[in-house]
Structure 1
Amino acid sequence: MPTDRLTAVPADVLAAIAEATGPVVKTEPVGSGFNSEIAARFHTETGTVFVKGLRADHPRVWTQQREAEINPHVRGIAPRLLWRLETAGWDLLGFEAVDGRHADYAPESADVPAVATLLRRLGQVPCPDLPLKTMPDRMAAYSDTPELFAGEALLHTDWHNTNVLIQNDGGALLVDWAWASQGARWIDPALWVLWLIAGGHTAVQAELWASALPAWDEAPRAAVDAFAQASARLWQEIAGADPDPWTQRMEAAAETWASHRGGSAR
């Protein structure tokens, strides 16, 4: 987030944040992230709170509600939500601040085992009774057999490395639950495979990491093949005719995985 982003926040909204956190002595904008108009650490005399927010009329303001709803169900694998404010035309979430860095998905990275552990823990979390999107619905436009992606598991679905925080003790936490969904338990490991390939792993190396997860052992081969092909079509659409370097890298990773699984988006 650009440093000047906070200057666009009305003074009464900043005052409401200070009322929730205590007097603010320093504000530290956070540069990464795609889904928030406000993303900053608010430092007080007693601690630090990470605040993310959108205007109430923003097209993605529903993501604030989703994060607020899901947070009580993912304690221990995600930072704790401390409060939610809907004030002066803004929707704000205050999370416990976590000291950590974004995960590194390179083949030699020591973060990869920590992310595998995080995935294993997520696989043990029951899916809450919330109106989550389902993976068959989300992937219906990209697959002839989206029913293969159905299931009862809680899924995060966005394994961008910036959504995984590696703490000082080496443990990992998962942030940004806006796209939480319900589907087959193997889908999060499958999506992680894509990001590992984008991070420099071969398809074989990436799937070897996924194979260490119980959910992967349950995955029907035909379903994973279909999901790889659907993912390649999805990223081809996202990239479009003139992709930026980030989407181009993901499109290439998805095509690599689809080819490895015996299919293609082409």
Structure 2
Amino acid sequence: MATTRMGLDRLPSAARTAVEAHTGPLLTVEETPEGFNSEIAARVTSATGTWHIKGLRTDHPRAWTQHREAAIAPLLTDLAPALRWRVETAGWDLLGFEALDGHHADYAPGSPDLPEVATLLRRLGETPCPGIELRHAEQRLEHYAAHPDDLGYFTGPHLLHTDLNNANVLVDADAPEGYRARLVDWAWATRGAAWLDAGYWVIWLIAAGHTPASAEHWAAEIPSWHTAPAEGITAFAAANANLWSEINTADPAPWTLRLATAATTWHAHRRTG
């Protein structure tokens, strides 16, 4: 379920003062509509720079997502925006990230962003998994797998992002080649089999208009995809069809229906293809 968003102006004055101790007086505040995990999400500027701020109350049920992002951010060089500062005061946990330029990735068939995202996922696949506490892929999918034995396909020691929503991928055409796309929102970072992020991307590609075959063609641009057994990919598709069906039932909205339909379409393709 999405977290209710609120404006930065509704922060307690002590929290706002603590933020401005890092930024200086804020000149502009642009609320960010994308994302579902944060109560506060805004791009802010001052005389000294620009930042993206994410925040949750410290007693929020998803407060752990702030801790996860703060722990993993220093380990994601060239994959994600840098974490510049953190404020924990007046009942709020606020993260100040480097403000990235660029646009949200376009996943539509034929988009020039697709090769950039594939390059990004290849770089992620080469990134060592940090020695911090992360949930395991098989734990996250255990209630959705068609058969308990399927969970073995999802295990592994690799760092995964797992939320390949195109709004979480920013593409900057002016950045150096090979580093034009970066991933934001690492709250759901996970440890698991190296090929799973390519699989998560498949679902979002289908939701953006690709056929399952076209989506899997793009997944095949990621070397780790070729390490996945065919039956493992099918098991992953089945688990995600069940997962997105549950999400759509709990939170019926156009976007959850679109993802549920995409996941079901992929699973049907895997079973009959």
Q: Is this contact kept in 2: 1:99–1:168, CA < 8 A?
A: no
Report the Cα distance in structure 2 between the residues aligned to 1:9 and 1:232, rounded to whole angstroms.
39
The residue number in structure 2 matching 1:246 is 255
The residue number in structure 1 matching 2:227 is 218
RMSD, aligned α-carbons: 1.6
Aligned-partner SS, 2:143: helix
For 1:57-91, what per-residue CA distance to the aligned partner results, in whole angstroms no more than 9, with x for missing partners? 11111100000111111111100001111011000
Asked whether 1:156 is paired with 2:156, we answer: no
The amino acid that maps onto 2:194 is: R
The residue number in structure 2 matching 1:133 is 135
Report the Cα distance in structure 1 between the residues aligned to 2:129 and 2:18, rounded to whole angstroms.
33
The residue number in structure 1 matching 2:30 is 28
Runs of 4+ off more than 6 Å: 1-4
- 1:242 Cα deviation after fit: 7.2
Report the Cα distance in structure 1 between the residues aligned to 2:13 and 2:86, rounded to whole angstroms.
18
Asked whether 1:167 is paired with 2:172, we answer: yes
Residues 26-35 or 93-102, more deviating:
26-35
| Cα gap change, 1:42 to 1:242, in 2 (>3 Å) | closer
The residue number in structure 2 matching 1:227 is 236
Match for residue 80 of structure 1 among 79, 82, 88: 82
Report the Cα distance in structure 2 between the residues aligned to 1:92 and 1:13, rounded to whole angstroms.
9
The residue number in structure 2 matching 1:259 is 268
Report the Cα distance in structure 2 between the residues aligned to 1:105 and 1:205, rounded to whole angstroms.
12
Report the Cα distance in structure 2 between the residues aligned to 1:100 and 1:3, rounded to whole angstroms.
23
The amino acid that maps onto 1:227 is: F
Structure 2 unmatched runs, 5+: none
Aligned-partner SS, 1:141: coil
Report the Cα distance in structure 2 between the residues aligned to 1:4 and 1:238, rounded to whole angstroms.
23
Asked whether 1:195 is paired with 2:204, we answer: yes
Residues 161-170 or 148-157, more deviating:
161-170
Report the Cα distance in structure 2 between the residues aligned to 1:29 and 1:224, rounded to whole angstroms.
38
TM-score, length-scaled by structure 1? 0.95
Report the Cα distance in structure 2 between the residues aligned to 1:179 and 1:8, rounded to whole angstroms.
27
The amino acid that maps onto 1:251 is: A
Report the Cα distance in structure 2 between the residues aligned to 1:191 and 1:233, rounded to whole angstroms.
14
- 1:160 Cα deviation after fit: 0.4
Q: Is this contact kept in 2: 1:194–1:250, CA < 8 A?
A: yes
- 1:46 Cα deviation after fit: 2.1
The amino acid that maps onto 2:152 is: E
Count of residue pairs the alignment pairs up: 263
For 1:224-245, what per-residue CA distance to the aligned partner results, in whole angstroms no more than 9, with x for missing partners? 1100111101111111177211
Q: Is this contact kept in 1: 2:198–2:225, CA < 8 A?
A: yes
Residues 22-31 or 146-155, more deviating:
22-31
Match for residue 206 of structure 1 among 212, 215, 220: 215
The amino acid that maps onto 1:260 is: H
Match for residue 37 of structure 1 among 36, 39, 44: 39
For 1:172-226, what per-residue CA distance to the aligned partner results, in whole angstroms no more than 9, with x for missing partners? 1100000000000000000000000000000000000111111011111111110
Report the Cα distance in structure 2 between the residues aligned to 1:112 and 1:123, rounded to whole angstroms.
17
The residue number in structure 1 matching 2:54 is 52
The residue number in structure 2 matching 1:6 is 8
TM-score, length-scaled by structure 2? 0.93
For 1:154-183, what per-residue CA distance to the aligned partner results, in whole angstroms no more than 9, with x for missing partners? 000000011001114261110000000000
| Cα gap change, 1:58 to 1:3, in 2 (>3 Å) | closer
Structure 1 unmatched runs, 5+: none
